[in-house]
Amino acid sequence: MSNFRVAVHIVPRRGILDPQGTAVAHALQTLGFSGVADVKVGRHIVIDVAAPDREAANRSAREMCEKLLANPVTEDFEIATVEQS
């Protein structure tokens, strides 16, 4: 077994109203970032996990997202990085 650090991104699904993202987008536009078209606010979760290899760590994190970390009704997730630690 090796130790891995897995980072996952969880964001509101496209098409689902994200009032927090809208509020942040308006604030950015007010600050003069006129190119900002849309903002989604989500979560970044870092997990330290022991696994036989990188692929297994990735698979395990994916399962964690499906079962708990992301809500399958409203959110999408992606495994951002898997690094041996």
Partner 1 sequence: MKFGIVTFPGSNCDYDAFHAVTDALGEEAQYLWHREHDLAGSDVIVLPGGFSYGDYLRAGAIARFSPIMQEVVAHAKRGGPVLAICNGFQIACEAGLLPGALLRNESLSFVAETVRLRVENPETMFTAGYEKGQLLRIPIAHGEGRYTADEETLTRLEGEGRVVFRYVGADGRPDPVANPNGSMHAVAGIVSEGGNVLGMMPHPERAVDPLLGSVDGLALFESLLARVSA
Among 3, 16, 33, 78, binds partner 1 (CB under 8 A): 16
We find the least distance from the C-beta atom of residue 17 to partner 1, in angstroms, to be 7
By CB under 8 A, is residue 14 in contact with partner 1? no
Q: Could you tell me the two tokens for 81?
A: 């990085």
Among 2, 3, 30, 71, binds partner 1 (CB under 8 A): 71
Please tell me the distance from the alpha carbon of residue 45 to that of residue 59, in angstroms, as a whole number.
15
The whole-angstrom distance between residue 23's C-alpha and the CA centroid of its chain comes to 19
Q: Where are the alpha helices (DSSP H) in 1-85?
A: 19-30, 54-64
The stretch near partner 1 (CB under 8 A) out of 27-35, 54-62, 63-71, 76-84 is 63-71
